[in-house]
Amino acid sequence: MMGKGITYERLSQEAVTLACDRHERLLAGEMGGARANFAYKVLQGLDLSGRNLTDADFSGAIMHAANFSQANLSSTNLFAADMRRANLSGAILRRADMRGAVLRGANLTGADLYQADMREGAIAQVDREKGLAVIRHEQRPGEVAEANFSGANLSNSKMTGAIAQRADFSDAVLIGARMQRANLRGARFPGANLEGADLSGSDLSGADLSNSVLIGVNMTMCQKQGMNTEGALTDAPTGPAPGADVEETAQLLKEHALWCETEGKQGKPSIFNGCDLRGLKSLARRNLTALQAKDAVLYGIDLEGAALQGAKLAGSDLRMACLRGADLRGADLTNARLNNADLREAQLGPLLLPNDRIHPASLERAVLRYADLSRADLRHINAVQADFSHANMHGANLTQSNLTEACLEDALMPADFRARARNGAAGTRGSVA
């Protein structure tokens, strides 16, 4: 450190645990509570995982390799804190003040940083010789270089001027993030959602933005040498418009609904294969049985409660879509992209056919990273080689599901499910990766 006057005190694990206990009593309104004050303390390598430290003060603290996994750090003061190689996976950092924090090599996989402030910042103190002297860690303040933000929620976060070269933002949600003049050289954004983000003046040289969402992104005056945007979803239409305008498309869908409701006596079926349907915004609670929309773009569309039995949605882009409570029995979602989709209480069980036959829904090779499938009906689902990494499957019914070679890395599910699946126990088929 450079500068004078501030003494850094090293704390023991016992002292930190006691301070956390008292802070949690304060938050619960119990006797003996006191706000945790770790300003200018050394917590290197200590364990604070799972603790509720809302509004705690960590300004200027040194926390190399500390464990904050699953901790609640909402509205916490982390101004100019040194958190290199810290474990913040799954932590809640909503509205945290992280200006000038050093996060080099930190793990923020799946963390919630909604409205977090990670702009440049530094601590200054009075110095007899220099007037105001800036206290600096070994690396420059505001550095998040090589940090792992995979799947993190960085919506509306402030990262103006941040140094984040080679940082990993894979599958992160950066909707509305402000990253003006940021150093993002070599940063990775594959599958990330940057809708409405401001990257103006940033250095994106060598950055990987493949298969990301770049709708409404401001890249004015950016350096883009070697930047990769292959497969990115932008404001430009990805396919032919199904009708002359949105109103005509909506009319086609009404005709389809009438065809379903009258068993083909009125209306007519609609085919939207390869079409970009983003302009419709909402199809909630619509009757879309047997809809054909293979390789279509339905990004962010509201399909809550929609009837989609037997729908042909193979290869479709349903990222960020709301399918809560939707009826998808027997639907074909092979190779579909459902990253961050809301599938809570969705019905993905089999369609019942004559003579006691069933037609299972297919999620074969589908990507459902960070999707919410809590309490969903997944009975008999064909999910061979599907990617459920980091998905919430708590309370889902997986009876007779086929998860051969499926990826369930860090997925939230019943504690005994993995063991039953690997052992080939009744109720599941295949192996999980």
Mean pLDDT, the chain, whole residue set: 88
Phi, psi for 256 (deg, rounded to 5): -65, -45
- Nearest CA among 114, 337, 385 for reference residue 232: 337
pLDDT at residue 245, rounded to an integer = 65
In-domain check, residue 385: yes
Burial of 181 (0-12, 13-18, 19+ CB in 10 A): middle
How far is the C-alpha of 386 from the C-alpha of 396, rounded, in Å?
16
Residue 196 lies in a domain: no
Are 257 and 277 a contacting pair, CB within 8 Å? no
Alpha helices by DSSP H, listed for 188-323, are 246-261
Tokens representing residue 80 in the block: 């100019």
The per-residue pLDDT for 141 is 44
Are 193 and 174 a contacting pair, CB within 8 Å? Answer: yes
At 244, list the tokens: 């002359």
From residue 146, how far is each of 65, 89, 107, 167, 393 by CA, in Å? Answer: 14, 15, 9, 4, 30
**Domain limits for position 363:** 238-433
Q: Does residue 184 fall inside a structural domain?
A: no
pLDDT of residue 416: 63
Burial 335-350 (b: 16+ CB within 10 A, else e): bbbbbbbbbbbbbbbb
42 found inside a domain: no
221 phi and psi, to 5 degrees?
A: 60, 25
Q: Which two tokens stand for residue 352?
A: 């019942």
**Spatial distance between the Cα atoms of 343 and 12, rounded to a whole number of angstroms:** 44
Residue whose pair of structure tokens reads 């379903």 in the numeric block? 260
Q: What percent of the chain has pLDDT over 90?
A: 72
Q: Look up residue 131 and give its DSSP letter.
A: E
CA distance 7 to 199: 38
Write down the pLDDT at residue 37: 97
- Return the bridge partners of 123, or none: 135
Q: CATH no. for residue 313?
A: 2.160.20
Decide if 113 is inside a domain.
no
State the 10-residue block means of pLDDT for the chain, 433 residues long.
68 97 96 96 97 97 96 96 95 95 93 92 49 44 77 94 92 96 95 97 97 96 96 86 67 85 84 88 90 94 95 97 97 97 96 87 96 95 95 92 92 70 51 51
Closest CA to 205 of 227, 180, 182: 227
Count: domains in the chain: 1
DSSP code, position 12: P
